[in-house]
Amino acid sequence: MTKSILLINGPNLNLLGTREPETYGSQTLQDVEALCREHAQSKGIELTAIQSNHEGEIVEAVQNSKGVYTHLIMNPGAYTHTSIAIRDAITGVDAKVYEVHISNIHEREAFRHHSYIEDVAQASFVGLGVPGYIAAIDAIAAA
């Protein structure tokens, strides 16, 4: 089956490259999306990227991915630690989900240690920086 990826970045990730470079690096969201698109393309996979600061929009993006995308790469941002709604949306689609966090959530504040997404995802790439997105694409290409 032809693979296709929807990359979903959640709240505040539109600020990448503008603040907190020690935690999130210096690449902008546009840089990250372009890098991911090009890397996926080099593997023969089409990748579409979206970002939203709104939980409901992310839920709808996951729901609407049904039958359109074979794989989702998601960095749900802070919703990782709070959103049963995003988790439930994931369990409602057939697409395989790969979770990415730029920072190492397990080495940060206790409230970031739990992920509602982790156990409904195929794999999680945590604390690898932006290369975590590339690792997720490689995992999908190899699957």
Binding-site ranges for ligand CA2 (CB under 6 A) = 12-13, 15-16, 18-20, 24, 75, 77-78, 80, 101-103, 105, 112
Angle among Cα 69, 96, 59 to the nearest 5 degrees reads 70
**Is the separation of the CB atoms in 3 and 9 below 8 Å?**
no
Compare residues 6 and 16 and give the one whose CB is closer to ligand CA2. Answer: 16
Compare residues 6 and 77 and give the one whose CB is closer to ligand CA2. Answer: 77
Q: Does the annotation count 69 as an active-site position? A: no
Q: Give the active site residue among 24, 98, 116, 133.
A: 24
Q: Does the annotation count 101 as an active-site position? A: yes
Q: Give the active site residue among 69, 71, 98, 101.
A: 101
Helix (H) or strand (E) holding 24: helix 21-24
Helix (H) or strand (E) holding 71: strand 71-75
Joined tokens for residue 64 = 């609407």
Q: Which residues are catalytic?
A: 24, 101
